[in-house]
Amino acid sequence: MDLLFQMHSPQRRGFIKGLADAALGLFVATSLGGCEALLQKIRDRPTRRRLTATSAAAQADLQTYRSAVQAMKALPASDGRSWAAQAAIHGSVTGGFNFCQHGTPHFFSWHRAYLFFLEDICRGLTGESRFALPYWNWNQDGQMDPAFTVAGSPLFHPRNVTNLTGFAPVSNTSLDPILDDPNFLTFSGTLEGPHGDVHVRIGQDMRTGGSAIDPVFWMHHCMIDYCWAKWNLELGFDNPNDASWVATSWNHFFRRDGSPVTMTAGATTLMPLLSYQYEPSAIGTHAVAAEVRAAEDFAQLRRRVEAGAPVQLDIRQRFLIAETVQTPIGRPYSSPPVTQASALTGLLTERDPASNLFLNVEYARFPEANDFFVRVFVNLPGANAATPTTDVHYAGSLSFFGSPGGRHEQMHATKHLVNVTQTLRALMQRGELREGSPVTVQLVAVPADAQFRRPDLVLQLNRIELLATPIRVTKPAGSR
Ligand SMILES: [Cu+2]
């Protein structure tokens, strides 16, 4: 069964306030109204900066990070703070995923906790108490910082690609509909797509469960974390307050002194408000947001984050496209036409911004190689590997980040979710999709490297379906 669609029925419940504050080691105060000293402390929290060649502050943080990585690499693997031990929390190159969460409602929260404690270990080892991890905004800066490509540097790691400029999954067209999605579950599920595509594009160990062994992993995930923070804090959408989601906890992280520590998902939601801040930057057409300066605004923001929202995925209608598909990656796949297309166009003409259509692709097993992307097109039966991603029928891409055989393999990303709303609307506007006209879906595998390592590979899919969702995010009475 599908974990993303399996969230327990939402129950409004108070945030575990004391626990969160204690876990973050920060504030005991529950109200910030008018408390200028406390607000000053919060204003002074370390800043995760956007990594660019011209930002002296970000470059200084990168140097601290390099020293920290060097120190961690020098520690024995038996030390929880060592580079090897930290990477092993996520998974291994040949053994797949270990504790990391992918394809579950904890993709964001687990990785946020993971970054949080590594950052703290970096501070401990370098003595730089104000250090914060810089983030690689690959939407704005496709080129990986050159510090990661200097041979012999602690930040160097073998990679196939170090420049994502022009890479469709990190483009505005790809990211805009994802960030505009008000539902936490589908926002998380669809952002995993570009996230995994970046892993696969960079290649080598980044393509595997052991990806965290590559120092650039942490700057990539810091960007994913900023996407979540921007969506939640700047764009004003809400995290789940489902009791079981909030209380989910992990005990496999390490503090800066090497001792184990437990963190809850609920506590991670407060981290970008209390523990660190992001230097704002644009993601897609979502511009830089104004910084929160006033105590009242901050207190209000904190109340909203703590309250969360009952997040539910109401699937209004399912349009089954195909079941048990076996398709060789060397040949484009085109689905049989969906017959209920009139109902589908009806949904789209409602112009309800909360109404979205997602392509859900569930696969039966993790493929034995993952050196490729699967591009998704709508109503383009002739689509092939040469069709550009700028084509109006292009809806997105999916990839198989990770490695087969790892722990929790069943749980990890047994499906891919692609938001196809914008593509379908564009086709309607062009008159290519009318009431009653059929809808087909194409899956086109393209090699991530020069050629497929396993051109004979057969993708085994359980089902392909379109999900129409009026995604209800019910606001608690009186909020915002
Ligand atoms: Cu990742």
Question: Taking Cα atoms as reference points, which of 58, 64, 50, 206 lies closest to residue 121?
Answer: 64
Output the CA angle 423-425-426, nearest 5 degrees: 65
Question: Ligand 1 mean position to 317 CA, how many Å?
Answer: 31
Q: Measure the CA–CA gap between 300 and 297, rounded to whole angstroms.
A: 5
Pairing, β 47-48 against β 277-278: parallel
Question: Ligand 1 mean position to 8 CA, how many Å?
Answer: 25
Question: Ligand 1 mean position to 207 CA, how many Å?
Answer: 9
Question: Ligand 1 mean position to 402 CA, how many Å?
Answer: 9
pLDDT (tens digit per residue) in 175-184: 999 999 989 9
Give me the pLDDT at residue 402, please. 82
The more confident residue out of 284 and 438 is: 284
Question: Ligand 1 mean position to 110 CA, how many Å?
Answer: 11
State the architecture of 317-470 in CATH terms. Answer: Sandwich (2.60)
Give me the pLDDT at residue 406, please. 54
Same fold for the pair 4-307 and 317-470: no
Please say whether the beta carbons of 226 and 278 come within 8 A.
yes
Question: Which runs of E-coded beta strand occur in 25-116?
Answer: 47-48, 91-92, 96-97
Question: Taking Cα atoms as reference points, which of 88, 90, 153, 86 lies closest to residue 120?
Answer: 86
pLDDT confidence band for 201 (50 / 70 / 90): very high
Give the mean model confidence (pLDDT) for residues 348-377: 83
Cα dihedral across residues 67, 68, 73, 76: positive or negative = positive
Question: Ligand 1 mean position to 221 CA, how many Å?
Answer: 6
Greatest mean pLDDT among 19-33, 218-232, 411-425 lies in: 218-232
Q: Measure the CA–CA gap between 419 and 177, rounded to whole angstroms.
A: 7
Q: Measure the CA–CA gap between 465 and 359, rounded to whole angstroms.
A: 6
Question: Torsion-angle region of residue 55: left (phi > 0), alpha (psi -120 to 50) or beta?
Answer: beta
Q: Measure the CA–CA gap between 374 and 397, rounded to whole angstroms.
A: 5
Q: Measure the CA–CA gap between 69 and 82, rounded to whole angstroms.
A: 9
Question: Ligand 1 mean position to 3 CA, how many Å?
Answer: 18
Other CB atoms within 10 Å distance of the CB of residue 152 = 5
Question: Which runs of E-coded beta strand occur in 94-134?
Answer: 96-97
The CATH number of domain 4-307, selected from 1.10.1280.10, 3.40.50.1110, 3.90.1150.10, 3.40.190.170: 1.10.1280.10
Question: Ligand 1 mean position to 26 CA, how many Å?
Answer: 28
Output the CA angle 124-128-131, nearest 5 degrees: 100
Burial class (CB in 10 A: 0-12, 13-18, 19+), 196: buried
Give me the pLDDT at residue 104, please. 85
User: Is the pLDDT confidence value at 328 over 90?
Assistant: yes
Backbone angles phi, psi at 409, to 5 degrees: -60, -35
What residue has token string 């112009």?
Answer: 351
Q: Measure the CA–CA gap between 57 and 187, rounded to whole angstroms.
A: 31
Q: Over the Cα atoms of the chain, what is R_g?
A: 22
Q: Measure the CA–CA gap between 411 and 318, rounded to whole angstroms.
A: 23
Give me the pLDDT at residue 289, please. 82
Please say whether the beta carbons of 112 and 228 come within 8 A.
yes
Give the rounded percent of residues in the chain with a pLDDT score beyond 90.
Answer: 64
pLDDT confidence band for 435 (50 / 70 / 90): confident
Question: Taking Cα atoms as reference points, which of 222, 218, 215, 223 lies closest to residue 175?
Answer: 223
Question: Ligand 1 mean position to 19 CA, how many Å?
Answer: 27
Question: Ligand 1 mean position to 158 CA, how many Å?
Answer: 17
Q: End-to-end alpha-carbon separation of the chain, Å?
A: 35
Question: Ligand 1 mean position to 250 CA, how many Å?
Answer: 18
Question: Ligand 1 mean position to 199 CA, how many Å?
Answer: 7
pLDDT (tens digit per residue) in 46-105: 999 999 999 999 999 999 999 999 999 999 999 999 999 999 888 877 777 777 887 789
Q: Which amino acid is at 288?
A: V
Question: Ligand 1 mean position to 77 CA, how many Å?
Answer: 22
Question: Ligand 1 mean position to 282 CA, how many Å?
Answer: 21
Domain-wise residue ranges, the chain: 4-307, 317-470
Q: Which amino acid is at 142?
A: G
Question: Ligand 1 mean position to 190 CA, how many Å?
Answer: 13
The reported pTM is 0.89
CA distances from 160 to 105, 205, 460 (A): 30, 10, 27
Q: Measure the CA–CA gap between 383 and 377, rounded to whole angstroms.
A: 7
Burial class (CB in 10 A: 0-12, 13-18, 19+), 29: exposed
Question: Ligand 1 mean position to 235 CA, how many Å?
Answer: 23
Output the CA angle 18-23-25, nearest 5 degrees: 95
Question: Ligand 1 mean position to 63 CA, how many Å?
Answer: 23
pLDDT (tens digit per residue) in 5-24: 332 223 333 344 434 444 45
Kindly report which listed range (96-105, 136-145, 271-280) carries the lowest average pLDDT score.
96-105
Question: Ligand 1 mean position to 174 CA, how many Å?
Answer: 17
Exposure on the CB side of residue 114, measured as CA atoms within 13 A = 27
Give me the pLDDT at residue 106, please. 94
CA distances from 174 to 70, 103, 180, 286, 359 (A): 36, 19, 11, 13, 14
Question: Ligand 1 mean position to 224 CA, how many Å?
Answer: 8
Which uninterrupted H or E stretch holds 40?
A: helix 36-43
Question: Ligand 1 mean position to 195 CA, how many Å?
Answer: 6
Q: Measure the CA–CA gap between 361 and 414, rounded to whole angstroms.
A: 9
Q: What is the DSSP letter of 448?
A: S
Q: Measure the CA–CA gap between 117 and 6, rounded to whole angstroms.
A: 29
Q: With b meaning 16 or more CB within 10 Å and e meaning fewer, what string describes 209-233?
A: bbbbbbbbbbbbbbbbbbbbbbbbb
Question: Ligand 1 mean position to 427 CA, how many Å?
Answer: 32
Question: Ligand 1 mean position to 338 CA, how many Å?
Answer: 33
Please say whether the beta carbons of 155 and 148 come within 8 A.
yes
